[in-house]
Chain A
Amino acid sequence: MEFKTAGNRVEIEPQRDGSTFVHKGMTLHMGDELWLEISGRKHKATATKVGDVWWVHILGHTLQFEMVEPGATGADNDSGLTAPMPGKILDVLVSEGQSVSSGDALMIMEAMKMEHKIVSGQDGVIESIFFNTGDQVEQGTVLLSIK
């Protein structure tokens, strides 16, 4: 079984015995409630699935594990920059064909009454800009692409 968490792909095949699962010396007892046993101490866990993502609360941590469908390729192509929130484009700071460096501010958008900078995660050339100042964008919309 494969998951994506914090940008990494991880594989796991826990040993299963009925409603008990074992992995790296930890035992998880599955029922209406989830109890994790580590070195003789028990800890309550909470988990729920949203879309393809399992949200897990354990020992004061909240973690997310996205199911990876069997056969999916390992390469992530993240050269497109997406809107992190629904909001409005306030300013476009670059133009198509312009060279940018990782960390450069590309756009300014307003969401939840605050300004956010859209920052390049790579060095490259601006290929296309899909929105203009004043445009409303939905969460996850690709704003511009970098080659």
Chain B
Amino acid sequence: MLKRTLVANRGEIACRILRACKEAGIEGIAIHAANDAGTLFTELADLAIQLEGEDLRETYLNQKQIIDIAIANDCDSIHPGFGFLSERADFAQAVMDAGLIWVGPSPEAITKMGDKMTARITMKAAGVPVIPGVEVDGGLEEVLAVAPSVGYPLLLKATAGGGGKGMRAVHDEADLESEAKAAMREALNAFGDDRVYVERLLTGSRHIEIQILADKFGRTIHLGERECSVQRRHQKVFEESPSVALDAELREAMGEAACAAAAAVDYEGAGTVEFLVTPKGEFFFLEMNTRIQVEHPVTEMVTGVDLVREQLRIAGGKPMSCGSLSMRGHAIEVRLYAEDPSNNFLPAIGQLKRFVAPTGPGVRLDTGVREGDAVTPNYDPMLAKLIVWAPSREEALQRMGRALDEFVVLGCTTNLRFLRELCDHPDVVDGWTTTDMIERLWPDGWNPNIEPLIDDAGLLIAAACQSSNHGRTISTGSGFSQTPSPFFTINRRLP
């Protein structure tokens, strides 16, 4: 059983983990950079400690400083969240060498899955199908040399990659060299490793992943799938479970392959095995994410399992608590990004002057921001994840549409409207979601579909607000709120 866990992360996922710690009776310690002082996750922690240093390398990526803080504050464990140090085997090893519990799989498992080439080779050996392609050991010349044998369209991927960084689709040989250079440069900047490899781009495929849990008692289970096909710039924006593309038979086959993949590296904790599923129903191993994933709430909603609690339980040496599982209803998650979808999804910054989240039945919001917070270019532009659950897919889409209509974010450009239009798009309604759908549906970029009535309404509101100086003075309504009235006091005591 863990007693005191340091959360080596920030923002939304730090909030998620710190809340789980509180519920599990574990003390949660937050670490934060100076520019994160006073943000939501630091308030949810039992203790928040400011990191020294300026940039990421000196703060959230500073292994030594983080471990020193954990030891100095009597922590017994470190939860890495996702991103940052979560898939760094050397960090996992250093945490364990310091006598702390690492909430995650072994450094060996992270290494085997973290290097995409090694992962491919390991999976091939375990009998898990992989995408046709060539593993190259880096170097621009070698990439150029093997590309013809893979054929076009092809995909260049950073060997050390993830999150769409260092990934480039090449449809034409003429673009290969410039795209390969860009992929290598981006990979070097993001991961400190410019190796890329080449694989066949499977157009019209779906991105479907299987959540797994494995404990120290030899039990490895899968918790069904998440379909995450709707992506922009290889980053997911819309995730759901179950997938319309899987029947019970395919789900079981993919679940078994995912468990085999986990077993091949003696996996422990929560992990995700990602697959591409072709229109013909073949599936290929993409990669395994050896950490909790952004879209984990979707699985939590349909299975009823608290994945972060299970992570903490398994790391504490207990068997996982879930028995035999069944999937119930339908869950959808959308990612609210500070970005401009009508300008190639360019990240945006600003102050969240208004941030009013939707509520109501079946609605869950995982966020690390509040009204008034500034969105800065220092960190990832994801502001929140909005998750809904409903008995059926149709009702889940309707609920998501309703919730997105209620969501007010003013002061920083977001992709809210893009997400809202997705919920009504015939391809999404029909379940025809593929990884290339955003480029397929909006080859020249997306622009909001605004009826003239909406423009006129907005203009009226802006003009009226300007004329009345709306919001400039805090209106108290009447004298009562300034001078406490005895009636108000009496009212408060009534049920």
Contact = CB atoms under 8 A, between A and B. Distances in A.
Interface of A: 1, 3, 5, 10, 12-14, 16, 19, 21, 23-24, 26, 28, 30, 32, 34, 36, 38, 45-50, 54-63, 65, 67, 84-87, 90, 108, 110-116, 139
B455 A46 contact: no
Q: Is the interface of A mostly helix, strand, loop or mixed?
A: strand
A128 B25 CA distance: 62
Contact of B454 (A10, A59, A87): A59
A111 B347 contact: yes
Contact of A61 (B414, B448, B468): B448
B409 A12 contact: no
A34 B467 CA distance: 14
Contacts of A60: 404-405, 417, 420
Contact of A48 (B185, B458, B471): B471
Contact of A36 (B347, B410, B420, B460): B460
Contacts of A28: 460-461, 464
B186 interface: yes
A116 to B, nearest CB: 6
B450 A112 contact: no
B82 to A, nearest CB: 14
B454 A30 contact: no
Contacts of B190: 113
Nearest to B447: A6
A111 B377 contact: yes
B380 interface: yes
8 A-B pairs closest in CB distance: A60-B405, A65-B462, A55-B410, A63-B458, A54-B462, A21-B464, A23-B460, A112-B347
A108 B457 CA distance: 39
B463 A12 contact: yes
B410 A48 contact: yes
A13 B463 CA distance: 8
Among A38, A61, A110, chain B packs the most CB atoms within 10 A around the CB of: A61
B471 A49 contact: yes
B459 A65 contact: yes
A49 B189 CA distance: 38
A22 to B, nearest CB: 8
A64 B351 CA distance: 14
Given A55-B353, A58-B461, A90 B185 contact: yes
B395 to A, nearest CB: 18
Contacts of A21: 460, 463-464, 467
7 contacts: A23-B456, A34-B461, A46-B356, A48-B354, A62-B408, A63-B455, A86-B349
Contacts of B455: 5, 10, 63
B233 interface: yes
Contacts of A113: 165, 189-190, 380
A56 B354 contact: no
B38 interface: no
A110 B189 contact: yes
Given A56-B458, A62-B410, 11 more contacts: A3-B463, A5-B459, A12-B463, A36-B457, A46-B410, A48-B410, A59-B454, A61-B448, A111-B347, A112-B380, A114-B233
Contacts of B189: 110, 113
A68 B347 CA distance: 26
Contact of A26 (B185, B186, B377, B456): B456
A95 B477 CA distance: 61
A54 B466 contact: yes
A12 B380 CA distance: 39
Among A24, A63, A67, A87, chain B packs the most CB atoms within 10 A around the CB of: A63
B471 A55 contact: no
Given A21-B464, A48-B471, A114-B233, A5 B458 contact: yes
A12 B459 contact: yes
Among A21, A55, A85, chain B packs the most CB atoms within 10 A around the CB of: A55
A85 B379 CA distance: 13
B316 interface: no
Nearest to A105: B178
Contacts of B22: none
Contacts of B475: 32
Given A26-B456, A114-B347, A139-B349, A16 B467 contact: yes
Given A1-B467, A50-B353, A62 B409 contact: yes
